[in-house]
Amino acid sequence: MLASLSVNSPIVDQKEKPVVASRINRAIELLAQDQAIYYVGAHSGHVLTRAQGREDAGTWADYINIGMEHGAFDMAGLEEYLRGMVEAGPTRSGHRTPTIIVEAPVNGTDIANVRYNAWQFRQILGRGAHGVLLCQAETPGAVRAFVESCRYPHHLEAVDPFMPTPLERMRGEGGAHRNGADAGEAKPLGLGTRGRGSESSAAPIWGVSEPEYRELCDPWPLSQRGELLLGVKLESPEGIARCEEILSVPGIGFAELGPGDLSLALGYREM
């Protein structure tokens, strides 16, 4: 007997399986595959509301740049914006939120300037951002201080192996950071200076527990498990002159040129 198929037979729904991301940070996921990344977001600032976060969750870009060098340093707005993204997620690529990288107001001109303004990085990361961009990067010492300011002290990759032990430091026999001149030769990192306390606000944005956040929030590619993307912006003749030293600092994941400020520094009123 030949079997027949009724026209009323049910058809199995062949819906595509949901995309599952392999990392929290989409930009790192692409860079690790040697792919270029593209961003949106004005350097003059961004609308930071929960509604805007829900809308931006559908972005095509690999990351969204939040310009706080020239835009408002709005931490309450950034927190609401990221919460809106979580509410509207996941993204089409399967990530909980798009990657958010914030331009910090501080200039990376020297070690002291960066260390005195390290509170900016802690505030930005505490809201749940996935990365920070240091503008006006000019010296390797300033960039080392930037990386150290964004790291927890229990992460020891690339940290000076000859640093005094915690017990020795408690006795006053040395410190955890270099305070000398910013010489050109490559130097290892000092200990991270970010303290615990903001995980309760950042971890929910990443979709992990607080202990997991402390382990994963470390710069890539210095840490292959790290989900934090730190970048530098070269915008002056001094930064261009030392670009190879700057980019050799452990913990830096990307760099970009600042043609606007560089053109002014070179005497051009317009780009």
Q: What is the C-alpha separation between 136 and 221, in angstroms, rounded?
A: 22
Answer yes or no: is 106 within a domain: yes
Q: What is the DSSP letter of 65?
A: E
Q: What is the C-alpha separation between 137 and 19, in angstroms, rounded?
A: 37
Of 144, 226, 145, 153, give the one whose Cα is nearest residue 195.
153
CATH number reported for the structural domain that contains residue 69 in this entry = 3.20.20.60
Predicted pLDDT of residue 11? 43
pLDDT in tens, 245-259: 999 999 999 999 999
Answer yes or no: is 31 within a domain: no
Predicted pLDDT of residue 20? 80
Answer yes or no: is 132 within a domain: yes
Low-confidence ranges of the chain (pLDDT < 50): 1-14
Predicted pLDDT of residue 270? 86
Predicted pLDDT of residue 7? 36
Answer yes or no: is 152 within a domain: yes
Answer yes or no: is 19 within a domain: no
Residue span of the structural domain in which 101 resides = 42-265
**How many domains does one find in the chain?**
1
Q: What is the C-alpha separation between 104 and 102, in angstroms, rounded?
A: 6
Predicted pLDDT of residue 21? 85
Answer yes or no: is 62 within a domain: yes
Backbone phi, psi, residue 159, to 5°: -80, 145
Answer yes or no: is 48 within a domain: yes
Answer yes or no: is 15 within a domain: no
pLDDT in tens, 65-94: 999 999 999 999 999 999 999 999 999 999
Predicted pLDDT of residue 1? 36
pTM of the model: 0.90
Predicted pLDDT of residue 163? 87
